[in-house]
Amino acid sequence: MGYGDVYPVTSFGKILGAVIAILGVGMVALPADIIASGFTEQIHSEKKEKITCPHCGKSFEKNSN
């Protein structure tokens, strides 16, 4: 935390510092994961093509994979 001139000495302070560090990383990692999954879902939904049956006129989706 900083330059290392101040750091927790007690076991409670070390545990508290570790918990705060994990929560800090989680506050960045969780929203990034949600945003990335939203982008992935949007890309996959754009790849689907809607096709109309020439016989019955029903439309359905076809994956372009």
The pLDDT score that the predictor gives to residue 10 is: 96
Q: Who has greater pLDDT, 64 or 52?
A: 52
Tally of helices (H runs) and strands (E runs) in the chain = 1, 2
The pLDDT score that the predictor gives to residue 18 is: 94
Spatial CA neighbour of 47 closest among 35, 34, 61 = 61
With 0.75 as the threshold, say if the pTM is over it: no
pLDDT per position as a tens digit, 9-46: 999 999 999 999 999 998 988 888 899 998 888 887 76
Spatial CA neighbour of 46 closest among 20, 64, 25 = 64
DSSP string of 5-33, one letter each residue: SS---SHHHHHHHHHHHHHHHHHHHHHHH
DSSP 4: S
pLDDT at 57 over 90: no
Q: Per-domain residue ranges for the chain?
A: 11-62
